Structure 1
Amino acid sequence: MEFTSAEGEQRYAELVRAASGCVVALDFDGTLSPIVDDPTQAYIHPDAGDVLVALARQVLAVAVVTGRPARQVLALGGLEEVGGAVAEAGKELYVFGQYGNERWSSANRRIISPRPPRGLATFLDELPELLRQADAADAWIEEKGLAVAVHTRRLPDAHEAFGRLLPLVRERAERHELTVEPGRNVVEVRSPGMHKGVAVETLARELDARAFLFAGDDLGDVEAFHAVRALREQGLPTLLVCAGSEEEGSLEPLSDVVVKGPEGVLQLLRQLAADAAALHA
């Protein structure tokens, strides 16, 4: 792992000392699973389950905070099985899906979800025309129930198509009082008032966290990073981890540690679990 500053290295050491009261929250795509052309095939890294279970033994709780529907990430991550193993270790695994609108935990294996936002159905009806206007008619539309995502990754000019599409989608979404979340060659439209920062605040409050780590990879994680920095200002030991990539670098200036993709994230979590176990042996 590469610390972004001497302060980052010091924050890691403080987090190790506070590990028993630490909540570890992780994005899914690009952080625990690789970014792939077909998001339905973005399975979790094969080592992630074992790493999360070993980590859970040393920390207060582990959470996955994702823009994906909870049911989808449970399947792609094998997280029900992971949650069972975490529960056997006397700890709890949480999943916050659709930016925190959906919740699941290994103690309460039922997904709690609100109704779809007003205006989303109308926006979805209007979306094909927006894609034609952006010369991105072949972009892949992913309906998530509480949100809709438009992926340009499969297009020959993925980045340029994303740039053409974003302002059109933003204008139409705002007309329907919806929120736009840009990502890595994906634009997501969903209900306002919920984002990953709210999920971080909820976890910290409900679990009475005494330390917090968040790892993410793109713009959808910025609010979570800001929420963790707010916890830092309140005196909690914290660590912000960026799963770096050539496509997206917006989180690096906010991070304490930059690692390379899911492999790097898992390597850091292994090290954290090992250091915490050694310190408290």
Structure 2
Amino acid sequence: MDFRTAEGRQRYDALVADAAKTVVGLDFDGVLSPIVDDPTQASIHPDGPEVLVELADQVRGIAVITGRPARQAITLGSLDEVGVTIAERGHELFLLGQYGNERWSSGTRRVVSPRPPRGLGSFMSELPQMLRRHDAADAFVEEKGLAVAVHTRRLPDPRAAYDRLLPVLTDAASRFGLGVEPGRLVIEVRAPGMHKGQALRTIHDELGAHGVIFAGDDLGDIEAFRAVGELRDEGAPALLICSGSEEQKALVELSDIVVDGPAGVLALLRQFARDAAAVHAPAD
């Protein structure tokens, strides 16, 4: 493993020693699932289910924290089945959807969700006209119940379209009392207030965890990275993993280690689980 600094290696070793008191937070897209042009066709990496089960045996808890609707991420990630296996082994898997506004766990197996934010319906009624006006009528619009996401990945010049739309959608969202979450060639409009950092801290505190690991890949994970930094400042052992890509470099400088996409994330987590098992194995 190639850590960016000597401190990163030390943080990893401290978490291996403290694994039973550690919570692991993971984004879905770009971390557990490869990025694809059609977000409805995403699926968990083939190694994902096995690694999550192996990791759950060693840590206090695992939380998948995603901008996707909870039920959609559960289906695409086969997390119902993974959760059953984890539960049978005496552990629990959490899924926090729509940046933490929705919640599911392998213990309850029920999604708890608030009502859609005020203003979202009015924003969506204006959205087609905004897209046509800014030469992005063919952008893929993903309605998420509590939010709407505009993907530019399928357009002829995805980056230029993204750059044109971001200030326009930000201004419109503000008029309707909504917030904007930029991502990898996607702009999400949703209720303000909740974010991945708050969701991660909630799970960390609920589980009585000490250490924390978080793996993310784009701007939607910035708040979670900040929350991990705050926990580190408070004395918790903490590790930040960036699932690297050519599209998004914003998290690299904040990270302890950069890996190559979901395959790299899962290889690192598998190694962590095995290192923790070896350290905590009973002596003969």
Question: CA-to-partner distance for each residue in 1:206-256, whole Å, 9 max, x for gaps?
Answer: 111111000000000000000011111111111000000000010001101
1:139 matched residue in structure 2: 139
**What one-letter code is carried by the residue in structure 2 that aligns with 1:278?**
A
For 2:11 and 2:249, the matched residues in 1 are separated by 21
RMSD between superposed Cα atoms in Å: 0.6
2:32 matched residue in structure 1: 32
1:115 matched residue in structure 2: 115
By how many angstroms is 1:4 displaced? 1.3
**What one-letter code is carried by the residue in structure 1 that aligns with 2:180?**
V
**What one-letter code is carried by the residue in structure 1 that aligns with 2:135?**
D
**What one-letter code is carried by the residue in structure 1 that aligns with 2:167?**
P
TM-score (normalised: structure 1):
0.99
2:91 matched residue in structure 1: 91
Question: CA-to-partner distance for each residue in 1:50-71, whole Å, 9 max, x for gaps?
Answer: 0000000000111100000000
Q: Secondary structure at the match of 2:241?
A: strand
For 2:96 and 2:15, the matched residues in 1 are separated by 23
Q: Secondary structure at the match of 1:181?
A: strand
For 2:118 and 2:4, the matched residues in 1 are separated by 42
TM-score (normalised: structure 2):
0.98
2:77 matched residue in structure 1: 77
Seq. identity, %: 64
1:234 matched residue in structure 2: 234
Number of equivalenced pairs: 281
Question: CA-to-partner distance for each residue in 1:47-106, whole Å, 9 max, x for gaps?
Answer: 100000000000011110000000000000000000001111111000000000000000
For 2:134 and 2:39, the matched residues in 1 are separated by 22
Q: Secondary structure at the match of 1:3?
A: coil
Question: CA-to-partner distance for each residue in 1:249-281, whole Å, 9 max, x for gaps?
Answer: 100011011000000000000100010000011
Pairing 1:168–2:159 present:
no
By how many angstroms is 1:130 displaced? 1.0
Counterparts of 1:239-250 in structure 2, within 5 Å, are 239-250=239-250
Q: Secondary structure at the match of 2:224?
A: helix
**What one-letter code is carried by the residue in structure 2 that aligns with 1:144?**
K
2:216 matched residue in structure 1: 216
For 1:231 and 1:130, the matched residues in 2 are separated by 41
For 1:170 and 1:133, the matched residues in 2 are separated by 15
2:53 matched residue in structure 1: 53
For 1:194 and 1:4, the matched residues in 2 are separated by 30
Unmatched 5+ stretches in structure 1: none
**What one-letter code is carried by the residue in structure 2 that aligns with 1:13?**
D
By how many angstroms is 1:134 displaced? 1.6
Question: CA-to-partner distance for each residue in 1:165-195, whole Å, 9 max, x for gaps?
Answer: 0000000001111010000000000001100
For 1:178 and 1:18, the matched residues in 2 are separated by 40
Moved over 2 A (4+): none
